[in-house]
Amino acid sequence: MKKITKKEIINLCISLLLFYVFWQIHYFRQNPWQVIKLTIGHFYLFILPGYFLLLKYIHQINFAYRIFIGAGIGYSLVLIIVYLLNLIFKLDIMITYIIIPIIFIVTGIIIFYIKNRRVNG
Amino acid sequence: MPEEQNGIDLNLSLFKKLNLELVMLFIFMGVMLYFISVFSGAKLIHDSPYQYVAGDMFFLLSGADWITDSGDVTKYPSYLSDGANDQFPGLLPLFPMATAFLSDFTGIEKYDILFHLNIFFTVMTLLAVYLLLRKINKNMAILALPIMLLMFKWPFNYNLTWGMQMANMNFFFVITALIVFSLLNLPIMFLFFGILNAGSFFSHMRELLTLGLGISIYFLFSALKRNFDWMRLKKTFYSCIVSGIIVSYYLPILWQLVKANTSGGFILKYCPAMTHLPHFVVLKDMGVFQWFFILGVGIALLTIIFKKNVKQEYLLVSAFGFACIFTSYVCIIGNKTSHIRNFLPFFAAFFIGILLLNLCSILRRFRKILICAAFMTFIILMISNHFPKEIPEYAVSNPATWDSFRWIQANTEEDASILALYGDNFYQYTLFFSMKRRIHEVNTNEYINRIKEGIISPILPAHRRFLGKKLVREGNKLKDITYGSLVNVSMCDYDYIYTNKISRIKPIQDYTSMVINNLIREANFSIVYTNELTVVLKNNNVNGTCFKEKRFNR
């Protein structure tokens, strides 16, 4: 379990680094701090929520697939939930958008641990 | 799916031995960075909207502006509704929301984030297509990569600079949905498939129709191959229920928006080639690759018909490719459905990959060398023949215009009415939405006619520039659908006059100066803001006496 988690964290860090390097090369005349903020924004708001929700498939789906599918699901799910909360309950979307990603991240981690505890007996 | 066979192992152990696929992938990433270097000027932050070539870019920017300002997606602000309140937005929300959130989170201007997201989703789609094809065969996926670089070249890059952001986002959802569909037999994966489809619905919708058609064709192919997967069909059905629940609240509204936006009431019809449009994609835009594409389509068809054991992913990808080809020739709710043609490099990559893989398989002994050679040849062909041309930096907006907008936002009343006179860049009227004020714009043709006739008059026909179509929401229904029209207005009825004082056409520039002078001398206007390009005049006596119509010597 610890080995899997460590490998997963390393893979995640490499993805984050690759993402940053790619956009920093593209925006090479830009102050790195802005590109770092952009990278954190993409990952926190959209990519990580989807990625963590897919963590339960760690043994079935390869990391690269999970991060890409996770990005698709993250962009889709976070935006839909924020939109529906606004449409139905009139919640201010400029507040909910900060809160919703962390809820999905925590949910994904909890599901992962519950599933693994069951598997490990 | 075995872990190490079907995916890229991002583990460090990969670097310990030479992995040919990884080497080609890195070469490709380098070339892609070179291709996208024509966008953004190597900077994330600009003084004003950069490389915004057409009005739709500003249309979506105004969406992100209004979402950030109000925190509410359910109604347009009054400045986008010609002064009316509570108008329901006919804009699908996901892309403007993503722009607003990322901009608010990072503190980077919305117009920069919007353009960045455009490139971001295209790059992500490209890599997602690679991963999708890799589920069929990794060599095929590698060979398909260079073809997708065409996305950054005209006319395909119309998607990037002319305002097809929502479609770009949606195509990423669609490709991701295809990967998820291939994994649908995993527990509760149908839930994610449903979420992606709902995201697709709320981001642009038309590509979702293509996806739906593609999946239907896939089931048809499976049935013909006597390899029908009932479990997958059942899970697809479950996912439709999930999507249906998510979008149900919006469906009655959508139906009325569709009715409001389609004058002829058609849903599906044949769409003739619109070659008069500069951005309309035809096969020859792919150069030599069009022949590879056609051959690839033929081989895919033959494989599906005659080969016994065809991979499910092969059927799925081919089915989606055929659906893309079909929807390129039909109109679904308006003409622009054929814009799927602008994604041709993505779905052509499926078929070209299939063709090349088959060619390389003929000489099995040299397959590895052939694949490397084909990949490098394609890369060289792309760089030499298909490298994108420079994009105009400030085609519509420019820093001077943007400074004047910022001044108006900071120094005029929120309910101020503004009349825009003339500017060489005013032809894309959505530009004015970023002013965040109620704006009417003088009809350019009439303005030029007055110059030709030698008449200077305060009364001119003007367009009411707004997004709302008087769609007022009651519960989850809309009422009162009416449209804006051209009306005769008096310059002296507005709080402010906004114009460019410089024009590339000298007689227009002189005429505008004359109008400004008349407004100041005879109608109680004063200049409150000016820069090297623009002027803002304040009306100190709204609805008061105006200057008289007169003739002048041309």
Residue A117: pLDDT band by 50, 70, 90 thresholds? confident
Tell me: pLDDT of B475 over 70. Answer: no
Tell me: pLDDT of B129 over 70. Answer: yes
3-state helix, strand, coil split of chain A in percent (to 5) is 85, 0, 15
A26, B12: Cβ pair inside 8 Å? no
pLDDT, residue B478, reads 52
B104, A28: Cβ pair inside 8 Å? no
pLDDT, residue A121, reads 60
pLDDT, residue B5, reads 43
Closest CA to B337 of B239, B434, B424, B266: B266
Chain A residue numbers with beta carbons less than 8 Å from the beta carbon of B1 are: 60-62
Q: Coil, helix or strand for B467?
A: coil
> Which residues 34-53 in chain A show a CB within 8 A of chain B?
34-35, 37-38, 40-42, 44-46, 53
Helix then strand count (H, E) for chain A reads 5, 0
pLDDT above 70 covers what percent of chain B? 89
B369-404 confidence digits (pLDDT tens): 888 898 999 999 999 999 999 888 888 889 999 999
Average pLDDT on B59-86 reads 84
Average pLDDT on B462-481 reads 60
pTM for this one? Answer: 0.91
Tell me: pLDDT of B235 over 90. Answer: yes
pLDDT, residue B357, reads 80
pLDDT, residue A54, reads 95
Average pLDDT on B500-509 reads 92
Residue B476: pLDDT band by 50, 70, 90 thresholds? low
How far apart are alpha carbons B172 and B346 in whole angstroms?
11
pLDDT, residue B6, reads 45
Identify the residue among B91, B101, B129, B208 best suited for mutation to test binding to A, counting A beta carbons within 10 A and taking the highest: B101
Identify the residue among B176, B181, B182 best suited for mutation to test binding to A, counting A beta carbons within 10 A and taking the highest: B176
pLDDT, residue B245, reads 94
Chain B residue numbers with beta carbons less than 8 Å from the beta carbon of A115 are: none
Element at B41 (helix H, strand E): none
Residue B409: pLDDT band by 50, 70, 90 thresholds? very high
Which range in B74-78, B388-392, B404-408 is most confidently predicted, on average pLDDT?
B404-408
Which range in B104-113, B305-314, B323-332 is most confidently predicted, on average pLDDT?
B104-113
Looking at per-residue pLDDT, the higher value among B554 and B95 belongs to B95
Q: What is the 3-state secondary structure (H, E, C) of B238-265?
A: HHHHHHHHHHCCCHHHHHHHHHHHCCCC
Looking at per-residue pLDDT, the higher value among B9 and B534 belongs to B534
Tell me: pLDDT of B312 over 60. Answer: yes
Residue A94: pLDDT band by 50, 70, 90 thresholds? very high
A60 touches chain B (CB under 8 A): yes
- Among A35, A63, A95, the residue with its CB nearest the CB of B10 is A63
> Which residues 65-104 in chain A show a CB within 8 A of chain B?
65, 68-69, 71-73, 75-77, 79-80, 82-84, 86-88, 90, 92-95, 97-98
Cβ atoms of B431 and B55 within 8 Å: the answer is yes
CA quadruple B474, B476, B482, B487: dihedral positive or negative? positive
Residue of B nearest to A27 (CA): B42
pLDDT, residue B94, reads 94
B535: its two tokens: 């002027």
Tell me: pLDDT of B467 over 70. Answer: no
- Among B7, B42, B73, the residue with its CB nearest the CB of A93 is B73
How far apart are alpha carbons A84 and B250 in whole angstroms?
10
A30, B42: Cβ pair inside 8 Å? yes
Closest CA to A9 of A45, A50, A88, A63: A63
Question: For all residues of chain B together, what is the average pLDDT?
Answer: 86
Residue B550: pLDDT band by 50, 70, 90 thresholds? confident
The CA-to-CA distance between both ends of chain B, in Å, stands at: 78
Chain B residue numbers with beta carbons less than 8 Å from the beta carbon of A85 are: none
Identify the residue among A23, A79, A81, A119 best suited for mutation to test binding to B, counting B beta carbons within 10 A and taking the highest: A79
B467: its two tokens: 């997004």
Residue B7: pLDDT band by 50, 70, 90 thresholds? very low
How far apart are alpha carbons B352 and B295 in whole angstroms?
8
A31-83 confidence digits (pLDDT tens): 999 999 999 999 999 999 999 999 999 999 999 999 999 999 999 999 999 99
Tell me: pLDDT of B3 over 50. Answer: no
Residue B545: pLDDT band by 50, 70, 90 thresholds? confident
pLDDT, residue B15, reads 45
Residue of A nearest to B93 (CA): A83
Count Cβ neighbours within 10 Å for each residue of A67-98 and write b for 16 or more, e otherwise: bbbbbbbbbbbbbbbbbbbbbeeebebbebbe
Q: Out of B30-39, B178-187, B364-373, B452-461, which region has the weakest mean confidence (pLDDT)? A: B364-373
Cβ atoms of B336 and B343 within 8 Å: the answer is no
Cβ atoms of B506 and B513 within 8 Å: the answer is no
Chain B residue numbers with beta carbons less than 8 Å from the beta carbon of A61 are: 1, 7, 183, 186
- Among A23, A38, A79, the residue with its CB nearest the CB of B98 is A79
Tell me: pLDDT of B464 over 70. Answer: yes
Give, as one character, the DSSP assignment of residue B40: G
Amino acid at B539: N
Chain A residue numbers with beta carbons less than 8 Å from the beta carbon of B104 are: 94, 97
Residue B287: pLDDT band by 50, 70, 90 thresholds? confident
DSSP A88-104: HH---HHHHHHHHHHHH
Tell me: pLDDT of B204 over 90. Answer: no
Q: Out of A57-61, B115-119, B309-313, which region has the weakest mean confidence (pLDDT)? A: B309-313
Q: Coil, helix or strand for A121?
A: coil
B13: its two tokens: 């152990």
Closest CA to B60 of B71, B70, B49: B49
Average pLDDT on B341-363 reads 87
Residue B145: pLDDT band by 50, 70, 90 thresholds? very high
- Among B43, B94, B128, the residue with its CB nearest the CB of A68 is B128
Tell me: pLDDT of B281 over 70. Answer: yes
pLDDT, residue B4, reads 41
Q: How far is A12 from chain B (nearest CA, A)?
A: 9
B3, A90: Cβ pair inside 8 Å? no
B146-160 confidence digits (pLDDT tens): 999 999 999 898 889
pLDDT, residue B337, reads 61
pLDDT, residue B469, reads 55
- Number of alpha carbons in the 13 Å side-chain half-sphere of residue A87: 22
pLDDT, residue B54, reads 86
| Residue matched to tokens 């020859």 | B284
